[in-house]
Amino acid sequence: MHYEFHKIFFYLCNMFEIKNSNQKMSYNPKREYDTDEDILVAETEKHHIVIHNDDFNTFDFVINCLMNICEHSQEQAEQCTFLIHFKGRCEVKAGSIADLLPRHKKLLQSGLTSEII
């Protein structure tokens, strides 16, 4: 245990560049974690499926598609359908590209006009 304490202590001293206990301590961390931070940001980027209004799909059809494909509740699907109708479009699902791409394809196969943004 004593060995591990010294190992951690020297790691922290090196990280903060503390050379000698007689010197004034300064905070100057090394930026070794920048690449990890960039990866984390890339993994958590959100994309959205947007459905656009059309003149041929019924409310019930769009509601059923949202419930089956996007896993919406009845109430959520109805609200999105009203937004699609009255505003012309609605972001119906957020997530990673890997999650959204199969849903987007199913929405297109169902005859809905959707896009991933």
DSSP state of 24: P
Which pLDDT does position 117 carry in this prediction? 93
Pairing of strands 113-116, 47-52: antiparallel
Tens of pLDDT along 75-108?
A: 999 999 999 999 999 999 999 999 999 999 999 9
CATH 3.30.1390.10 fits 46-116, yes or no: yes
CB 77 within 8 A of CB 66: yes
Q: Give the whole-angstrom CA distance, residue 61 versus residue 84.
A: 13
Q: Find the DSSP H helices in the chain.
A: 2-15, 34-43, 59-69, 74-87, 97-109
